[in-house]
Amino acid sequence: MAKPTKRRIDGEHSRRVTPKGGQDAPTKRPGTDDAAADEAAGRARPLKPGTGASDAKQRSKKVADHSESRRYTPPSHVDMPSPWWVPALMWTFIGGGGLAIILNYAGVLPGTSGGANGWYLIGGLVAILAGIMTATQYR
């Protein structure tokens, strides 16, 4: 049975040479040099993965596929901005921790009349650390 002739399908980025319902491309026969046969027939060789040309072709297909979609995709939860209370909580922790440390050394807090109390210092440092950790969640 004679093989059907291959027809190039119209399209700038199409590599298809037969219609969608057509037969698969012929398999390679052992011992033949495809490069010489392709050059003689005037066909382009497939691009090797990892080369700049194949990467550019893949990127252009991805962009073309993305632009064809008309369906709305809402932003994911990660892309949403933080609520108003995240920076407020951050500055409250940092300010409260700094204020606790300053008031501890000033002797204003209860139990610090004879000198600084270590527990107020630890509490102030923990509050500042909590503010820093809150800041990492701010978008």
pTM: 0.45
- The alpha carbon dihedral of 80, 85, 91, 93 has a sign of negative
- What is the residue range of 87's domain? 82-136
How many domains, in total, are found in the chain?
1
Q: Residue 128: inside a domain, yes or no?
A: yes
Task: Say how far apart CA 94 and CA 97 lie, in whole Å.
Answer: 5
Q: Residue 103: inside a domain, yes or no?
A: yes
Task: Say how far apart CA 131 and CA 4 lie, in whole Å.
Answer: 72
Q: Residue 86: inside a domain, yes or no?
A: yes
CB 116 within 8 A of CB 104: yes
pLDDT in tens, 75-126: 777 778 899 999 999 999 999 999 999 999 888 898 888 888 899 999 999 9
Q: Residue 28: inside a domain, yes or no?
A: no
